[in-house]
Chain A
Amino acid sequence: MEAWFEGLKAQFHLNFIQGNRWRYLMEGLGNTLLITGLALVMGVAIGILIAIVRSSYDKTQMTAQRTPARRLFGALNGFCKVYLTVLRGTPVVVQLMIIYFVIFAWSDNGTMVAVLAFGLNSGAYVAEIVRGGIMSIDNGQFEAGRSLGFNYASTMRYIVIPQTFRNVLPSLMNEFIALLKETSVAGYVAVHDLTKGGDIIRSRTYSPFMPLIAVALIYLVLVMFFSWIVGKLERRLRSSDH
């Protein structure tokens, strides 16, 4: 028993203390959080734009006339649909590699490519979250805005979107959590993220157990922490549900 414990201690020392190897994990963690955060910001921006195009197109379907502007709008809506289908229909790691090795072959800034890839991908998921949020707002809210004299865009901006945001905030946080785990494939394009950090240690020490378990534990703690925040947020929103 004591020997086993001593062995564990030696392993720990080898993998984390010796040569300050714990720094691989910390640097990786920093990159993971950076990529996840920036990708989410980008995803939310793309998602809101797509959601507005898609739900506006649907909402005005009945009354629209066949003007050139409407046809342009139809084309835009079609583009958004294709975007959603492609980005949700292929693995994110493949998208990541295509962007890194094909589109940005001339650049070796893996971190920015990862932000771009995960941002584009998450935009597709956020779009559907936000669209669901817009559609769930009672049409009476929209009509109240229009009857006061707000045009379509202002009604969306001042009345519908703020209410949507409240409703979808927990879902957006969950998207952040999913994204946090998804970015673990960033190592494919030579990004030193948390997973890669653990893998670097493994390749130096030839002992996979400690570094990989440590990586898993860090992800788990992060996910549990953010889930706890989502839970709190949900309760808060529900209790102040005016």
Chain B
Amino acid sequence: MTTDAIISVKGLTKRFADGKVVALNGVDAEVRRGEVLVVIGPSGSGKSTFLRCLNLLEVPTSGTVTFEGVDITDKKVNINVHRQKMGMVFQLFNLFPNMTVMQNLTLAPRKLRHWSQKQAEERAMQLLQRVNLEGRAGAYPNQLSGGQKQRIAIVRALMMDPEVMLFDEPTSALDPEMVGEVLDVMKALAKAGMTMVVVTHEMGFAREVGDRVLFMDEGVVMEENTPAELFGNPQNPRTKEFLSKLL
């Protein structure tokens, strides 16, 4: 199964605060092309750090991250080129508040891929239709609901035609009634074959959409399996404990 890995992580370690905090402690993992990999675990277990190391938003203390055959932790690699192919969606959306939805969407493709304004806007309208927000192109982020903001943030990442999408708790900051609309967009994306890594507390989503689940605790991957196996028949005592607390 290693041949179809789009991202593979070896011995990933990340320390913070002059080495006093070990957020990741020798993680080995891989993301396979076309799969939805769900990462779960208690607060502070290193899920966000793991995800942010995948596109080097967090620079690993040691270990390697290989993306499409290139070791992107190598200092000689131009990380900006590779990041264009790794979309990222944040818990707090991080839309640009001084720009309209359309400007949020077209900025990166225009500047980085040198698309014309027209070309970028056409693509943006296509994607906005897919998330049912074609009517909000002229709105500013503060005029949108949380669910709408997150759907726009997903579209902004999709504008660069990424090979993989990274999600860090995309629904954690949302009012409960808006969680569904964002998860629906993510489900549709998964169905369309997008490779996705999703850190989430939405176990329903993990079960339904996930191809594999990683359970992390104390900076290591404690258990890794299909959702059916991991949720139905957990092996590691920590996994059992974590899952029992959720119910």
Give A residues with C-beta under 8 Å from B: 63, 65, 138, 140-141, 143-144, 146-151, 154, 158-159, 162-163, 166, 241-242
Contacts and interface: CB of A to CB of B under 8 A. Distances in A.
A109 to B, nearest CB: 41
Contacts of B145: none
13 contacts: A143-B57, A144-B96, A146-B57, A148-B83, A148-B84, A148-B156, A149-B160, A150-B111, A150-B112, A158-B107, A159-B96, A242-B140, A242-B141
Contacts of A159: 96, 107
Interface in B80-111: 80-81, 83-84, 86-88, 90, 92, 94-98, 107-108, 111
Most buried by A among B83, B86, B143: B83
Nearest to B159: A148
Interface in B151-177: 156-157, 160
Interface residues of B, number: 29
Contact of A144 (B59, B84, B94): B94
B111 to A, nearest CB: 6
Instruction: State the 8 A-B residue pairs at the shortest beta-carbon distance, nearest first.
Output: A242-B140, A149-B84, A144-B94, A147-B88, A140-B94, A148-B108, A149-B83, A242-B142
Contact of A163 (B80, B98, B112, B157): B98
Given A146-B83, A149-B83, A242 B143 contact: yes
B142 A149 contact: no
Contacts of A63: 59
Given A148-B84, A242-B141, A166 B112 contact: no
A196 to B, nearest CB: 43
Nearest to A165: B98
A154 B111 contact: yes
A154 B143 CA distance: 27
B55 interface: yes
A148 B142 contact: no
A146 B95 CA distance: 13
A149 B112 contact: yes
A149 B80 contact: yes
Contacts of A65: 75
Given A158-B107, A242-B142, A148 B94 contact: no
Nearest to A63: B59
A148 B108 CA distance: 7
B216 to A, nearest CB: 21
Given A242-B97, A242-B142, A242-B143, A148 B160 contact: yes
A145 to B, nearest CB: 8
Contacts of B143: 242
B17 to A, nearest CB: 10
A141 B94 contact: yes
A230 B116 CA distance: 38
A163 B108 contact: no
Nearest to B110: A158
A216 B92 CA distance: 52
A164 to B, nearest CB: 10
Contact of A158 (B86, B95, B111, B140): B111
A43 B108 CA distance: 31
Contacts of B88: 144, 147
B90 to A, nearest CB: 6
Contact of B90 (A140, A149, A242): A140
Nearest to A149: B84
Contacts of A146: 57, 80, 83
A242 B45 CA distance: 35
Contact of A241 (B87, B108, B142): B142
Nearest to B142: A242
Contacts of A141: 94, 96
Contact of A149 (B81, B95, B141): B81
Contacts of B81: 149
B80 A147 contact: no
A143 B90 contact: yes
B57 A163 contact: no
Given A143-B57, A163-B98, A151 B111 contact: no
Given A146-B83, A147-B55, 6 more contacts: A148-B107, A148-B157, A150-B108, A158-B107, A159-B96, A242-B141
